[in-house]
Amino acid sequence: MIEKIKKLFTNKYFVLTLWFGLSFVAALKQALLHVINNYKIYKYTFYNLIHQQNLFLQYPQFFEDKNHYGPVFALVIAPFYMLPDGLAVMLWNIFNSFMLYKAVTLLPINNKKQIAIFLICAHELMTASFSVQVNPFATSLIILSYVLIKNKHDFWAALAIALGTYIKLYGIVGLAFFFFSENKLKFTLSMVFWTVVLFVLPMPFSSPRFTVQCYQDWYHSLSDKDIENSGSTMQDISVKGMARRIFNIPTLSNIWFLGPGILLFFSSYLRIKSFKNTQFQLLILASTLIFPIIFSSSSESPTYIIAFLGVAIWFISLDRPITNFEWFLLIFAVVITSFSPSDLFPKYISTHITKRYALKALPCFMIWLKIIYETWTRPFDNQDLQPELEPAFTT
């Protein structure tokens, strides 16, 4: 019986059915119930751009809350703008799921490890899809920035980083892979090129003056949002958010956590001789995906698809046999980070413990610390490139 279950959950077609199917069902439900506020925010970003109206104000006649994405995002959502909302929501979620799927398939790992990533992250992708979020696409851009640099396509890697940053600032973490580039001058010049191109790209759809004003408004929007997040139970699901809620210190500054976090993150780069090693690079990729989420006051539950891809990449990169502690960390992350906001988790515990104290961030933080430790201690220098490891989930 156990062997049959194991065979089912390592079957490519079954796992991909979960990956796309759960996301599709989530989108379909939201479309049928017209719970598509996030999509309306996206849609009217393009509307406001072409009509030269402030992208970051409240428009209660159209949607609740405010837009917090850059003006370039208006052009990303533009192909969906003319479609009926229900159909657009479905296609938008399919686009997000496919882009993330494609990015994972381009990673330098074997098919069984790709399947393991899809299985580990399928439920978290569904959570993002319920919110009709852009985060899966943002995740794919971060992964693609690494893949393109590794494959010596620095010009296109720079585009992925610049586009991700102009959509949602998390994308800037793709610069973490700069040290893996074999042509750093080309990469730097490409970053300058794409930064300028994407900055001016919205201008033909509005005007140069309005576009510049949009970037100024975006800065103020993000500053105001950072202040608002400190008092929210739905936002600031981060290391600081945990400490703020557990110790009841509402005014706790993020600098006490972000500062040490940055130092720990960059401490991994002391292993200069390991930069060309694929196992080391995958750990850096995992760290890069988790880091901005667990240290950001803007992190909310659907944002964790970004961090959870980092968790999955960490797991499939582990040396075999996998230890009991590493299995515990993965299961802890699946249960607390992925399942706790859903109906699969006891509602009372979710409401009064995990949400109240932002514990969704805890397993990812623990795994991130484990990743940092591994980048310090694992003997990469004697390895050439990533070998074909044993099948996923083999101990």
pLDDT at 203 over 90: yes
The pTM of this model reads 0.94
Residue 381 binned pLDDT confidence (cut-offs 50, 70, 90): low
The better pLDDT of the pair 155, 395 is held by 155
Instruction: Give the mean pLDDT of 347-359.
Output: 90
Q: Which of 229-243, 256-270, 330-344, 345-359 has the lowest mean pLDDT?
A: 229-243
Residue 246 binned pLDDT confidence (cut-offs 50, 70, 90): very high
Structure confidence at residue 230 (pLDDT): 61
Structure confidence at residue 65 (pLDDT): 86
Residue 231 binned pLDDT confidence (cut-offs 50, 70, 90): low
The pLDDT mean for the chain works out to: 91
Nearest alpha carbon to residue 109 among 362, 322, 309: 309
Nearest alpha carbon to residue 220 among 349, 81, 66, 88: 66
